[in-house]
Amino acid sequence: MDERAARAVVLVRAIETADGAREIWSDADRVSAGRSAAEVVGEAASEDRFIARRAALVLERLAERYPNTRILAGVASTRGRLAPLVAAIAFVSGAAGVDIGPGHRINLLAPPVLALLVWNLAVYAALAAAALRGRRGFAPGPLRQRIAAATRRLSQPRGTSGAPPALAAALARFAVDWPALAAPLWQQRAARVLHFGAATLAAGAIAGLYVRGIALEYRAAWQSTFLDASDVARMLHVVLAPGSWLTGIAVPGADRLRAIGGESAGENAAAWIHLYAATILLVVIVPRLALCAIAWLRERRLAHRFPLALDHAYFRRLLHAWHEGTAHVLAVPYSFDVPRTHADGLARMMTRVFQCAVDVAWRPSVPYGEDEIPILPPPPLAAVVAVFNLSATPERENHGAFLTALAARAADRAPVIALVDTSEFASRFHDHPARIAERQAAWRALCASHGEPLFVRLAHPDLAEAAAALTTRLEHARP
């Protein structure tokens, strides 16, 4: 998926995971969004496309309910904003920075354009050193970090004042999740902007020299305490070699340099400006534009194929719902006649966990002391739930043997969850929490080899807490 779709997906994940109490987005809403997205994309669509389409539908429907969050349905685009602004500032700075002064005298050893060359060569050396260390690019400097930070600020959702607390919490979570995922893309975007800015800065410097040279006469000279004309000639032959190659203008030798050195009036600087301009073109502008193009290609690749992994439990549940349509769950109570209201509580929990339609198939209660395990339905099977009553004293030879046999029957087919209904026992001993804790500890010891049991008051379950715990158990018990 592309950057826009990935951002919407991460935002919806933050909303749906932060809204544990379903204040703004109910279980029915989530199931409906998945069904609608499945109908739009069809069975042959990729997983990325389904996830992206569902996220777009969620944001559209949330915007209908909360008009002040409508902007969440769109992505604030940062493309085309920073680059022109930085380029304009850089060009003007470059043009203004080559103001020689009232004397219009260019010191060949210390013109602004020479500093520009040195700075860019230092950047290339840093890039080369980083490449030799096997890294893509170099450690982001302060300027690149600021550009990336500006990109991040432009990408943050706005216009959510007055949003429900759950939505505000979701945005806070998104503000942490998205920058961590988008950092590689933003670094490439920042590199593109900076390389383009450096190229336009150099172009501005050249333009400034030529524009001023139309109305003013620049004089080229040089002065040095430590270098003589021969030393300066050797240095300038190296520095201006690219410009000499491009323009065909020969770099003057020591005799000519000796004549314009010291306190002399110098000479007309046109040829020197041509040499420096051509050198800057080859050493600064062309390489910087090439680096800008490389960063742009990397940015484009990341923006069009955003590396968002779908191995998170949240995505797996959504994809399971899409592929299977309905989550089939088998519930097998042991020596426990489960009331209808308790059965409904389990169905609501499963709906919240899988975020799709759930079919909970209840088998008749297995009588105490028997080890007959019911036949499992054909696949797919999302989970097998062994339902116990906290009122019962756990016995390894009965309850434990049943759980072991059920786990063996479901091996490699579905995760087995030991669920202990606390409704009756908790109501009877609500004034004796130690008694409840003692009984739960006994059940934990019994189920230790099969994972942590799930204690739920099925008559009136706390869906947020129970679903979170059940999700964790399913992940740990995944076959």
CATH no. for residue 441?
3.40.50
Quick check: is 160 in a domain? no
Distance, CA of 337 to CA of 308 (rounded, Å): 46
Question: How many structural domains are present in the chain?
Answer: 2
Structure confidence at residue 451 (pLDDT): 85
- Kindly state the average pLDDT of the residues 415-432: 93
pLDDT tens digits, one per residue of 210-245 = 888 887 888 888 888 888 999 999 999 999 999 999
**Amino acid identity, position 162:** G
Residues 286 and 358 in one domain: no
Residue 238 lies in a domain: yes
Q: Same structural domain for residues 381 and 448?
A: yes
Ranked by mean pLDDT, which of 178-187, 278-287, 372-381 comes out on top? 278-287
Facing residues of 383 across strands? 329
Point out the domain boundary residue: 272, 304, 336. 304
The answer to whether residue 11 sits within a structural domain is no
Percent of the chain with pLDDT over 90: 44
DSSP run (H or E) holding 333 = strand 326-333
So what's the pLDDT on residue 137? 47
Residues 367 and 295 in one domain: no
Instruction: Give me the amino acid identity at 180.
Output: A
User: Residue 134's pLDDT is what?
Assistant: 64
In a domain, 363, yes or no: yes
Domain membership flag for residue 368: yes
Residue 265 has pLDDT above 50, yes or no: yes
pLDDT at 136 over 70: no
| Cα gap 183→202, rounded to integer Å | 28
The answer, yes or no, to whether residue 138 has pLDDT greater than 50, is no
What's the pLDDT at 69?
60
Edge-to-edge strands, sheet with 105-107: 105-107, 219-221, 267-268
**What angle, rounded to 10 degrees, do the helices at 47-65 and 313-324 form?**
100
User: Do residues 209 and 86 both lie within one domain?
Assistant: yes
Whether 340 and 395 map to the same domain: the answer is yes
- Cite the DSSP H helix spans in 248-327: 254-259, 270-280, 286-304, 313-324
Output the average pLDDT for the chain. 85
Residues 135 and 245 in one domain: yes
Residue 310 located in a structural domain: no
Q: For 158-176, what is the mean pLDDT?
A: 74
For residue 26, what are its two tokens?
Answer: 């109910």
For CA atoms 29, 31, 32, 37, the dihedral sign is positive
pLDDT of residue 150: 56
Residue 422, in any domain of the structure: yes
Indicate yes or no: pTM above 0.85. no
Q: Each residue of 427-479: pLDDT tens digit?
A: 999 899 999 999 999 999 999 888 889 999 999 998 888 888 888 887 776 54
Let me know whether 291 and 339 are in one domain: no
Kindly state whether residue 24 falls inside one of the protein's structural domains.
Answer: no
Lowest mean pLDDT among 105-119, 193-207, 381-395, 441-455: 105-119
User: 125 and 223: one domain?
Assistant: yes
Report the distance separating Cα 355 and Cα 464, nearest Å: 13
Q: Quick one: 354 and 248 in the same domain?
A: no
In terms of domains, do 405 and 298 share one? no
Above 70 in pLDDT, residue 76?
Answer: no
Q: pLDDT tens-digit profile of 315-350?
A: 888 887 888 778 889 999 999 999 999 999 999 999
Question: Do 384 and 279 fall within a single domain?
Answer: no
| Alpha-carbon dihedral sign for residues 45, 49, 53, 55 | positive
- Look at residues 30, 21, 66, 59 and name the one whose alpha carbon lies nearest to residue 164: 66
Range of the domain at 447: 325-477
* Same domain assignment for residues 291 and 410: no
pLDDT of residue 234: 93
Q: What's residue 91's pLDDT? A: 92
